[in-house]
Amino acid sequence: MGDLNDLAIFAQVVDHKSFTVAARQLRLSPSAVSKHIGRLEEKLGVPLFNRSTRQLTLTEFGQHLYQRCSRALLELEEAQTIVKDMNRGLKGRLRIHAIPGVGQRVVEPLLIEFINQHPDLSLDFTMSTDLVNPVEQGFDLTFRSGSPDDGLMAHSSLGCCEYGPLRYLICASPAYMQRHGVPASPHELVHHNCLIHVVQASSRQWWFNGPEGEYSVPVSGSIVANSHTTIYEAVIQGVGIARLLSYEAGEARNLGKLKILFAAATRSNRVIRAIYARTSHMPDKVALLLEFLGKRLEQPAVGNVNTP
């Protein structure tokens, strides 16, 4: 970087044909400018200027160096300008990761809506069960779900926005209940075909609130899958009872495809976390996406998280 600074000062001296004028433009002393040029000449082992009391001209070596370094310095300046414009004008690429379920049913449609509002942005969206670190793996944001008290402690390199609450609801189709009956209480779920989405926390123990406090019910059934779509389609088709996110459960209920069971008793205090690299200069595209999500979901609470 010292060499680059020397080259930039060299180009200024050539452009202004004067050490004194270049020093004034750079807000340096003439002696400091002379020192940079001397260091550059010493490193290259050749004189760059012919100096006289009347004029300052380039040597042959200086002419060759100026022709090449001036183009390089111009390209560097243009690159900085492009990056600044990308940030100000919401241009460039968003790299987003999300866990399935939350990613497909909550994050994905909102990302598409956001990109549609900002046509100069492009999106790389990846879903997997991996709990990725955005700093290490180069994502602008990564989305996961968790409980507010799940023990995540502060980490200096990561920050997060929390959106919530994210509720699970117990759902069954009218066709399933017509064939197999309606469970009268959560305890009766042990006798029903419960569809297991293994990506969910406590996927085989569904939790409820009762008069004496919290309790869990062990569940099992004919389908165990890590695919959210598989579970959703199976419950819609009447294969069994499933635990779904409230976003999709409410949508399916409104269409008459599902009934919600034990809504008041179902225990769920999950939140959605958007995790990002902590920086003093968050890109505008990331900051505005977080603001957009806050309006579409619920007002976020900003905090820190552990490395996933």
Confidence bin at 304 (pLDDT 50/70/90): very low
**pLDDT over 50 (residue 307):** no
Give percent of the chain with pLDDT exceeding 90: 34
| Per-residue confidence (pLDDT) for residue 266, from 0 to 100 | 84
pLDDT in tens, 76-104: 877 776 666 555 657 788 999 998 778 87
| Per-residue confidence (pLDDT) for residue 208, from 0 to 100 | 93
Whole-model pTM above 0.85?
no
Distance CA 71, CA 269 (A): 58
| Per-residue confidence (pLDDT) for residue 81, from 0 to 100 | 66
What residues are paired with 172 via a beta bridge? 259
Distance CA 206, CA 196 (A): 10
Confidence bin at 148 (pLDDT 50/70/90): low
What number is the average pLDDT over the span 56-70? Answer: 89
For the 2-88 domain, the top CATH level (class) is mainly alpha
Tell which residue, 176, 286, 162, 165, has the closest CA to residue 223. Answer: 176
Listed ranges 88-92, 215-219, 225-229; the one with the highest mean pLDDT: 215-219
Domain made up of 92-162+271-304: CATH architecture: 3-Layer(aba) Sandwich (3.40)
pLDDT in tens, 275-285: 988 877 788 88
Confidence bin at 256 (pLDDT 50/70/90): confident
- Phi, psi (degrees; rounded to nearest 5) at 180: -115, 0
Burial of 230 (0-12, 13-18, 19+ CB in 10 A): middle
Dihedral angle at the C-alpha atoms of 273, 293, 156, 166, nearest 10 degrees? -20
| Per-residue confidence (pLDDT) for residue 87, from 0 to 100 | 57
Confidence bin at 298 (pLDDT 50/70/90): low
Which runs of consecutive H residues, i.e. helices, occur in 193-239? 228-236
What residues are paired with 254 via a beta bridge? none
**Strand order, beta sheet including 168-172:** 224-225, 194-197, 241-245, 168-172, 259-261
Listed ranges 98-107, 147-156, 206-215; the one with the highest mean pLDDT: 206-215
- The yes-or-no answer to whether 92-162+271-304 and 168-261 have a common fold is yes
Confidence bin at 302 (pLDDT 50/70/90): very low
Instruction: Name the fold adopted by 168-261.
Output: D-Maltodextrin-Binding Protein; domain 2 (3.40.190)
What number is the average pLDDT over the span 107-123? Answer: 91
What number is the average pLDDT over the span 256-283? Answer: 84
> How far is the CA of 80 from the CAs of 6, 134, 176, 188, 262, in angstroms?
19, 24, 61, 64, 57
Q: Which of the residue ranges 78-92, 174-188, 221-235, 260-274 would you say has the lowest mean pLDDT?
A: 78-92
Q: Domain ranges for the chain, please list them.
A: 2-88, 92-162+271-304, 168-261
Residues 6 or more apart in contact with residue 63 via CB below 8 angstroms: none
Listed ranges 47-51, 231-235, 242-246, 247-251; the one with the highest mean pLDDT: 231-235
**pLDDT over 60 (residue 153):** no
Counting Cα atoms < 13 Å in the Cβ hemisphere of 60 gives 0
Distance CA 106, CA 17 (A): 61
Confidence bin at 149 (pLDDT 50/70/90): low
